[in-house]
Amino acid sequence: MVETKAQVFAVANQKGGVGKTTTTINLAASLAATQRKVLLVDLDAQGNATMGSGVNKKGVAHSAYHVLIDGVAVAEAMIGSDSAGYHVLAGNSDLTAAEVSLMTQDLRETRLKTALVPMLGQFDYILIDCPPALNILTLNALVAADGVIVPMQCEYYALEGLSALMETVENVRRGLNPRLQIKGLLRTMFDPRNNLANEVSDQLISHFGDKVYRTIVPRNVRLAEAPSHGLPVMKYDKSSRGAICYLALAGEILRRDAKERSAAHSRQHETKTKEANGN
């Protein structure tokens, strides 16, 4: 039996207010609802993903800061959130100091990757909520990740910001993490009555094809209300459009991963067959 290894996804966009934290929380909860073991890593000093998962960011003994700077094990620092259904490595204002401290550390870009290695056999998915900037914390996430999920609004400056992120991902892929790829683009806060939103959506599909998730997350009141209750939307109102959309996204990601793993297994089998035949 082949041991499963966690897929690590960085949820990133240097533009704020695009639904990045909302996506991390609700995708984590939706994947957990499909009986997958999920770890959410909050690298944003605001700690919104932590609070939105029902964990008090000020009450944790250890946060992502202690993992990155003090070398505390993730297994010791993470907290199980019964209300959300997954584990959380909390983020809080200490991460502002982590940005400064990391600049003087050896191997500063690989701290998170190293810390997560013991966790890869414990979880099916590890989702990293990145800060809304391309800083050293985001760089740590990109080095640790297998892929990047990019939530974005279909608005005027969206494509400009996306090109900057794509350039960063490519630079990280060339220099520090050759397996890194854009996993998918998620259209968030979408209003189909808005002509510009539809135009930008069409441009995304034209440029990126099947990298754009079919799932579209609309503006949804329940989705906006859920974090104030410390709950993912599917725990707050499972019949809401927001909850249904994030469950659909989880299903889409699971199908893509199954397809990719099947293709990789076939390639591996083909290579072994050729070697056995002396080719």
Domain holding 46: CATH number? Answer: 3.40.50.300
Local confidence pLDDT in tens for the 279 residues of the chain: 345 689 999 999 988 889 999 999 999 999 999 999 999 999 999 999 999 999 999 999 999 999 999 999 999 999 999 999 999 999 999 999 998 999 888 899 999 999 999 999 999 999 999 999 889 999 999 999 999 999 999 988 888 888 889 999 999 999 999 999 999 999 999 999 999 999 999 999 999 999 999 999 999 999 999 999 999 999 999 999 999 999 999 999 999 999 888 887 788 777 777 777 776
Q: Provide the domain count of the chain.
A: 1
Does residue 1 form part of some domain? Answer: no
**Tell me, what amino acid is at 103?**
M
Does residue 2 form part of some domain? Answer: no
Number of neighbouring beta carbons within 10 Å of residue 116: 23
Range of the domain at 30: 7-276
| Enclosing H/E stretch for 188 | strand 181-190
* Residue 258 burial by Cβ neighbours in a 10 Å radius (0-12, 13-18, 19+): exposed
pTM for this predicted structure = 0.93
What is the dihedral angle through the alpha carbons of 39, 43, 46, 47, rounded to the nearest 10 degrees?
20
